[in-house]
């Protein structure tokens, strides 16, 4: 059956090209109505409707989470991630249906996973068992270059809240306990701490709330920080160092400090070089050029990669526009095939 592989790749290409208009509409609909984590109701309905209208898919709306879904056939996320995933599913389904008999039963599953950034919908779905019947998983991210792999760090989100006591800043300043002073000191403490951190560790954040009026000593302040390390095993270490900085600011100002950690801790991406090599091979056959340099962010797909073999490549969007920029325009470019073609050789023993 291996001799049929070139023809199957062409079939995948043709099936995706045939569906390109509705795939464009799918990605555009999600792009035009941004939604926050776990509130992706319009995106959920759009994707569920898309697969419901496609012949041969069994669709489960609100799969384990309110805005998650699952679509399966037997043979994510940002708008371009959702579109590329849908394109890959349609192409692979067409290839599977073109062969009368496969050596092993094959099921294609599309998981709509909400809250990819910050909250971690995939982590929730992992806990719910959504990935237990999957043998290999794929996700692709849009960016300014093609890459089979870019490192994704472990990350922990943290809200720091200081509680003080309000007072008139001119008439009775000695009666106040300044929560803004605590926030400023905490921010400065973290800046000093950075000098002693490992080169690939990161702590950064913002002051989200610092008071109401200049003549009122703030009784409340709030900061939001991200803690990143190359391994999730190091997160407790960097977290303890950061907490010491925050406690010191509370002690110096007389404020009470409260920590609210992010709901889910993101793990670093676990590499799968076998899948990367296959992706690279198929991509180059399409004329793609790959880079090994790029940004180092975080994704909840990292947790998935520790549970199921997978790959998280990046595809060029045909523009130098940065991610999280509304000027990014929808383009499938050459990623239409490379996202899935590399897995086809592995479908035979």
For 171, residues 6+ apart whose C-beta sits below 8 A from its C-beta are none
Q: For the chain, what percent of residues have pLDDT higher than 70?
A: 83
What the chain holds in terms of domains, given with CATH numbers, is: 2-151+269-347 (3.40.630.10), 155-261 (3.30.70.360)
Q: What is the residue whose two structure tokens read 């208009």?
A: 21
Cross-sheet strand order for the sheet of 58-61:
58-61, 69-74, 107-112
- pLDDT tens for 247-272 read 999 999 999 999 999 888 999 999 99
What does the CA dihedral 189, 196, 299, 315 come to, rounded to 10 degrees? Answer: 120
Give the mean model confidence (pLDDT) for residues 307-327.
72
Measure CA 291 to chain center: 20
Report whether pLDDT(343) > 50.
Answer: no
Which among 137, 141, 132, 125 has a CA at the least distance from the CA of 80? Answer: 141
Which among 294, 272, 278, 295 has a CA at the least distance from the CA of 339? Answer: 278
Q: Highest mean pLDDT: which of 81-95, 148-162, 276-290?
A: 148-162
Q: For the chain, what percent of residues have pLDDT higher than 90?
A: 37
- pTM to 2 decimal places: 0.72
Give the mean model confidence (pLDDT) for residues 187-196.
96
Q: Which of 64-78, 92-106, 332-346 has the lowest mean pLDDT?
A: 332-346
Q: Which of 2-6, 123-127, 175-179, 310-314 has the lowest mean pLDDT?
A: 2-6
């Amino acid at each position: 059956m291996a001799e049929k592989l070139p023809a199957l790749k062409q079939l995948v290409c043709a099936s995706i090209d045939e569906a390109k208009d509705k795939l464009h509409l799918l990605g555009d609909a999600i792009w035009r109505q941004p939604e926050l984590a776990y509130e992706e109701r319009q995106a959920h309905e759009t994707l569920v409707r898309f697969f419901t209208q496609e012949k041969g898919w069994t669709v489960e709306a609100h799969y384990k989470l309110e805005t998650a879904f699952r679509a399966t056939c037997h043979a994510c996320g940002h708008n371009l991630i959702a579109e590329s995933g849908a394109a890959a599913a349609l192409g692979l389904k067409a290839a599977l249906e073109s062969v009368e008999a496969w050596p092993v039963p094959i099921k294609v599953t599309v998981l709509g996973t909400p809250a990819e950034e910050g909250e971690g919908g995939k982590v929730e779905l992992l806990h719910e068992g959504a990935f237990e019947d999957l043998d290999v998983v794929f996700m692709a991210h849009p960016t300014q270059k093609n890459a089979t792999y870019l490192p994704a760090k472990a990350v922990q989100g943290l809200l720091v809240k200081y509680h003080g006591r309000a007072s008139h800043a001119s008439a009775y300043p000695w009666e106040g306990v300044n929560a803004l002073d605590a926030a400023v000191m905490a921010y400065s403490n973290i800046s000093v701490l950075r000098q002693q951190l490992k080169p690939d560790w990161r702590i950064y954040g913002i002051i989200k709330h610092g008071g109401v009026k200049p003549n009122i000593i703030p009784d409340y302040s709030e900061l939001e920080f991200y803690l990143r390390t190359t391994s999730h095993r190091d997160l407790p270490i960097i977290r303890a160092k950061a907490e010491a900085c925050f406690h010191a600011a509370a002690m110096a100002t007389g404020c009470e400090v409260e920590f609210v950690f992010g709901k889910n801790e993101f793990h670093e991406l676990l590499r799968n070089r076998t899948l990367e090599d296959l992706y690279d091979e198929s991509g180059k056959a399409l004329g793609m050029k790959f880079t090994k340099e790029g940004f180092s962010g975080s994704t909840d797909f990292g947790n998935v990669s520790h549970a199921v073999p997978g790959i998280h490549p990046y595809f060029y969007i045909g523009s130098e526009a940065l991610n999280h920029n509304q000027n990014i325009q929808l383009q499938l470019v050459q990623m239409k095939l490379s996202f899935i073609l590399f897995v086809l050789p592995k479908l035979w023993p």
